[in-house]
Structure 1
C-alpha cells in the first residue's frame, strides 16, 4: 500500500469547526424538549437509517412494477428534466418548508423531530436519522416530481437517477458540518445564495432551531423571514480556517497504482483491513489510470491520516510516487525535490519532522539549520527484530539486501555472542569489514546446515526460502514483507508494535499490518517527539537501541508477538 519514507512533525494547532456552547445546549433543552439522548440512542439511530433504506427501496420497487409508464424508461427527456426541476423548486421546497416549521411546534417536536436534532454537531448520516413517520412524509414530498413525470409520460432514467442522487447528495452535504463551498461561486452568481444552501447555513438550524427551515433552497427563509441573521457571517468565517499544524508527520509513499484504494481516501473497507491484492480492483483500471495521471501532475505531498497520541497531533503525508519510481535513476531528482519541499513545509509550520530513507542525510547537509529533526527509525526497527528472536536462540541466518538495519543487526547479534550465518560470500565480506575481530568470530559463511531462525530483508528469493528447513521462523527486517512460499514455515510481521489505546482515530491499517499495529519506523518519530531527544537519525547515524526500545514500552507500545501469545492464552 504505502511505504515508509517517514517524516514526523510536531507543533500545536487547532482546526476550526462549529462548536456548541453551554448556552446553546441549555436553550435546546429548555425550548425544544427531549432530545432522546439515552442508552438506546445508537440502536435508535441505526434502526432509523435502516428504515429509510428498506422503506424507499420497497416503494421504488412497487412503483416500478405496478405504476403504468414506470417501466422501460428512455435515457433522456428534456421536458421531463425541466419539469422535475420546476416541481422541486416550487411545490417540494414550499411544502417542505411549512412541514418543517410544523415539526418544530412543541407538540410535534417532542414526539418526532427532536430525534433528528439529537445530533447537535451534525455529520452526513444525520441527514437520514428521522422517526419513521417523517420518512413517510419526506418520501411523499420527493415523490411529487417522480410521479408527475411518470404520469405525464416525460420520465427518463436520467431524471429519476439525477433527482434521487441530488436529494441524497444535498442532504448529506448540508449535514457534513464542514464548509467547503467557495465564496467566489456566490460572487460570480449572486442569486445562487437563494437557490442552494451551505453546510454552515444548515448548521445554524441545528443550533438555533427557529431559523433556516428550508430544504435546499434558502429562498423560502428569505420570503417568510426565518433566515438567521448570522448566516452570511458564519459562512464567511467558516471559510477562513487556520491551517492545522501537526506535531509529528510520518512521510510515506504509494507502492502500486492500486494502493490508492487502500488509503482512507479510497475505499474505507479496504483501508480497514491489511493490504492484500484484490482481483476485482483490476475492473477499476480506468479510475486507476486516472489516479496515476493525477499523481504525476500533482507534485506535492497530501495528508492521508490524522491521529492523536497523548498531547501530540500526528499526520501521515503521502508522496505522489510509486515504489518502482524509487528504483529509477531519472526519477531520483523529482522524488528528492518532493521530499525536500515536504521538509521545508514542515519547517515553516514550526514542526519537528522525522524522515526515513538514506536521502535524509543529504537534506541535513543541505539545510544544516533545520529545526525539524529527521529520523529514519532504524534503531527501533533493529530493537523490534532483536526482541522478536525466540529466547534461547544462539544462531541465526541473515539474508537479504544489506541495509543500515541489516548491518546494525549483525553487529548487535555478534557482539551479543549469537552466531550469524550468511549464505553468500559477498555479503559475508561486507559484514566482516564492519565488525571487530572479536565480534567477527561469530560471523559464519555457510550454505548448508543453517539455523531455523532467519532474519530476512529485501532480496530474499524463493530459492533462498527453499533452503530453509521445516519449521523455520522468518523474521523480516525490511519494510516490505517477504513473499510467503513455504507453508511449513512461520513468517513474522515486518518490524512493528501494537499501538496503545490512547492512540486515537486509528480507523485504517498501515499497509499489510493488522489493525492498530504500527511500523517501527513510524513509531520512532512519535518517540523522538515525546522524549524530546532533538537529534537526527539519518545516514550512518544510529540512535541508542536499548534506549528507544525502553521508551517504546514506557509509552504503551507492545511487541506484536507477545500480544499474539497473550491472546492465544
Structure 2
C-alpha cells in the first residue's frame, strides 16, 4: 500500500503532465500580445526560471555521463543501468510543482510581487542568513526524521536511495511529500526576505539556481571540489559539502544529513568521520592510473552520422536508453552537435562512451572520432588507422585483455580486418578481435536446416566467404553473386573436394528468381529485391540494413545477441539495438574474453571455429535475438 502523498497527483498523465504549465505560458503570451512587454509579468519569470533549471539539470546529467572527461575523479565507477534510468525518468516533477506553487503565489499577491526591485544587496544578505539559520537546520532535521522513522523512510524517502550510483536526477527523484517539504525549505529564505521588505528578483533567481547547482554538484558522482582549500582553511569543511560527502550518506545512511553545510552534522554528531579523508584521497590520486579500474574488455566503436552521435549517453541519457531513432527534438540539437563533432575531429582523440559490468568483469566502449562516410575516403585511411592503432596501444598499456573492433574499424580495405595492427606490433598483450566469427555463426543458425539452396550477395567478403564455405559443407547449394571469377575460384578451392560443386558463381540477380533464401552482404536496391520470389526471406549482414521493400517477403535483422541476464551497469542501447542487445561482433569479443582465448581474431574467418564460438556463446548465457534461431533451438 502506498504511503500518504507518496505518489504524484499527475502520475498517470505521462508526458501530458507538462500541460499543467500551460496556463502559465498562456498568461505570458497573452501579456505579450496585449501589453507588448514581459517585464512586469511574473509568469514570464517563472517560465524562464523553469527552462533554465531544466537545462541546468540536463547539463549536469551530461557532465555526470562524460566518463572520458575525469575518469580518475569518479567516486563510484559503476555505470548507470536501465533500472535506475527508468526510476528517475520523472525527475522533473519537482520543477512542475514549484512552478505551479509560484504561479499561485503570483495570482494571490500580484501587487506585492510587482513592487519587488530587480536588485537589493540587503535582499541577498537576508536570503543567505535565512538559509543558514533556518533552511539548513530545518532540512537536517526533516532529512534525519525521514531516515529514523521506518514508515517515512519506506514510503517517502527510500526511492532516492534505490539508485546505486548518484546522478543529478537522483537528487530530484523524490516523492510528492518530500518535494513539498523541500519546496517549503527553499521558499523560506525567498518568502522571508520579501516579507521583511528586502526581496529582490536577482536574489530569487540567484538563490534558486545556486540551490540547484549545489544539489547537482553533490550528486554528480565526480569529485570536482579541490581538497587544498580545506587544508588551508579548515573551517571551510563545515561550510561546503562535496560529492564525496553525499556519496557517504548513501552508503552509510545514518550520517551526513545536511543539505550543503556539514556544520550541523558536526554539531549534532552525525558527521561521517571518513568524509574529508576520502575526499582528499580521491582528489590526491587524480591523474594516477591506479585510481581508474582497468577494463578487461574494450569495444572500439565509431560514429555513424551526426544525428546518431546524439545517441551517446553523455548527450541525453534518456534518449540513449532506447534504440536509436531520429526524433524531432534531435533535429534541434543537430547544429550544436555538428560544431562539437568538428571540434572533436580537430582534437582527434578517442573518448569513452559507456561502461558496464558483466560477471564482475569491467567492460568499456570507446569510440573513434570519425563519421561513417569518412571511412570510404581514400585520403582518410591513414588517419583512421592511426587512431585505431593508438587505441589498441593505449589498451595494451592499460592492461586490457581484449579489444574488439566495430563494423568499419575492421574494414578489410582499411586494415585487413585488424591484421595490419597485429603484424606491426608482434608483442601485443591485448588480444585484437573483429568478432566476425560469431557474426557468421548467428547468420548461419538463422537459416533453417532443411534449406537446400541460398543466394548470397557480398559473396567474396570476409563474412560471405565464411558463410559460403560453411554452407557447402552442409551440402547446401550456394549461388555466389560476384563478377570476379578469380576471387570465386579462390574461395571454391578452399572448400573440400567433394563440396566444391555446391558453390556456384552467378553474375546477375535474375539467377535467384526461384531461390527463397537470400543472404544479403551487399546493399541491394528495391529493384534488385524484386527478383526474389514471393515468400522469400532476406537474411542480412549489410550496414546499413536494406529497405523492407517487398510486402510479400520477410526481412531478418542484423546479426545480434542478447547479453546474459546478470550483466550490470547497462544504461544505453547500441545504435538501433534493443536494451541489452549488442551486435554479434561485439558479443564475439565478449565471448573471446570469457573463454580466455589467447589468439588474435583478425583477418579471414576460420570456418572451423564457427561452431566452437557459437557453443561458447551459448555456454556463457548469450542468446540469439532472431526469432528464427530461437524457434530452431526450441524444436
TM-score for the superposition, normalised by structure 2:
0.72
> How far off its partner does 1:91 sit?
0.7
Counterpart check, 1:556 vs 2:621: yes
1:506 paired residue number: 570
- Which of 428, 443, 464 lines up with 1:385 in the alignment? 443
Measured in 1, the distance between the counterparts of 2:540 and 2:382 equals: 30
1:56 paired residue number: 98
> How far off its partner does 1:363 sit?
0.7
> How far off its partner does 1:95 sit?
0.6
Measured in 1, the distance between the counterparts of 2:448 and 2:76 equals: 52
Which has the larger share of helix?
Answer: 2
- Which of 433, 439, 453 lines up with 2:490 in the alignment? 433
Matches within 5 A, 1:277-288: 277-288=326-337
1:199 paired residue number: 243
Counterpart check, 1:448 vs 2:497: no
Bigger relative contact order (CA 8 A; separation at least 6): 1
Report the CA distance shift for 1:164/1:496 in structure 2 as closer, same or farther (over 3 A): same
> How far off its partner does 1:522 sit?
0.7
Report the CA distance shift for 1:275/1:106 in structure 2 as closer, same or farther (over 3 A): closer
Measured in 1, the distance between the counterparts of 2:232 and 2:88 equals: 41
Q: Is the 8 A contact 2:311 2:324 kept in 1?
A: yes
Q: Is the 8 A contact 1:48 1:131 kept in 2?
A: no
2:586 paired residue number: 522
Report the CA distance shift for 1:438/1:334 in structure 2 as closer, same or farther (over 3 A): same
- Aligned to 1:348, the other structure's residue is in SS state helix
1:33 paired residue number: none
Measured in 2, the distance between the counterparts of 1:15 and 1:154 equals: 39
Measured in 2, the distance between the counterparts of 1:108 and 1:382 equals: 54
1:546 paired residue number: 611
> How far off its partner does 1:253 sit?
0.7
> How far off its partner does 1:513 sit?
2.0
Q: Is the 8 A contact 1:212 1:226 kept in 2?
A: yes
> How far off its partner does 1:255 sit?
0.5
Counterpart check, 1:142 vs 2:186: yes
Measured in 1, the distance between the counterparts of 2:148 and 2:360 equals: 41
- Residues 284-309 of structure 1, C-alpha deviation per residue, up to 9 Å, x if partnerless? 12321232133213322222222222
Q: Is the 8 A contact 1:300 1:338 kept in 2?
A: yes
Report the CA distance shift for 1:188/1:326 in structure 2 as closer, same or farther (over 3 A): farther
Measured in 2, the distance between the counterparts of 1:104 and 1:281 equals: 39
Q: Pairwise CA RMSD of aligned residues?
A: 4.1
Counterpart check, 1:312 vs 2:352: no
Matches within 5 A, 1:70-85: 79=119, 85=124
Moved more, 63-72 or 312-321: 63-72
> How far off its partner does 1:466 sit?
2.6
Measured in 2, the distance between the counterparts of 1:194 and 1:313 equals: 36
> How far off its partner does 1:552 sit?
1.3
- Residues 264-293 of structure 1, C-alpha deviation per residue, up to 9 Å, x if partnerless? 222233323222222432211232123213
> How far off its partner does 1:338 sit?
1.5
- Aligned to 2:301, the other structure's residue is in SS state strand
Measured in 2, the distance between the counterparts of 1:568 and 1:70 equals: 73
1:410 paired residue number: 468
Report the CA distance shift for 1:204/1:386 in structure 2 as closer, same or farther (over 3 A): closer
Measured in 2, the distance between the counterparts of 1:148 and 1:404 equals: 73
- Residues 328-362 of structure 1, C-alpha deviation per residue, up to 9 Å, x if partnerless? 22222222222112111111122222333142111
Counterpart check, 1:237 vs 2:281: yes
Counterpart check, 1:492 vs 2:556: yes
Report the CA distance shift for 1:490/1:183 in structure 2 as closer, same or farther (over 3 A): farther
Q: Is the 8 A contact 1:309 1:502 kept in 2?
A: yes
Q: Is the 8 A contact 1:247 1:352 kept in 2?
A: yes
1:37 paired residue number: none
1:274 paired residue number: 323
The number of aligned residues is: 528
2:129 paired residue number: 90
Structure 2 unpaired stretches of 5+: 1-70, 78-83
Counterpart check, 1:262 vs 2:311: yes
1:369 paired residue number: 427
Measured in 2, the distance between the counterparts of 1:272 and 1:203 equals: 24
Moved more, 293-302 or 556-565: 556-565
- Aligned to 2:149, the other structure's residue is in SS state helix
Q: Is the 8 A contact 2:122 2:198 kept in 1?
A: no
Moved more, 160-169 or 108-117: 108-117
Q: Is the 8 A contact 2:135 2:188 kept in 1?
A: no
Report the CA distance shift for 1:555/1:46 in structure 2 as closer, same or farther (over 3 A): closer
- Which of 386, 396, 416 lines up with 1:347 in the alignment? 396
- Aligned to 1:539, the other structure's residue is in SS state coil
> How far off its partner does 1:525 sit?
1.0
> How far off its partner does 1:243 sit?
1.0
- Residues 359-405 of structure 1, C-alpha deviation per residue, up to 9 Å, x if partnerless? 21111111101111111112111111111113311111112374211
- Which of 587, 593, 601 lines up with 1:537 in the alignment? 601
Measured in 2, the distance between the counterparts of 1:503 and 1:324 equals: 33
Measured in 1, the distance between the counterparts of 2:632 and 2:210 equals: 51
> How far off its partner does 1:423 sit?
4.5
- Aligned to 2:329, the other structure's residue is in SS state helix
> How far off its partner does 1:62 sit?
0.7
Matches within 5 A, 1:13-32: 17=75
Q: Is the 8 A contact 1:354 1:375 kept in 2?
A: yes
Q: Is the 8 A contact 1:96 1:214 kept in 2?
A: no
> How far off its partner does 1:150 sit?
6.5
- Which of 452, 476, 498 lines up with 1:394 in the alignment? 452
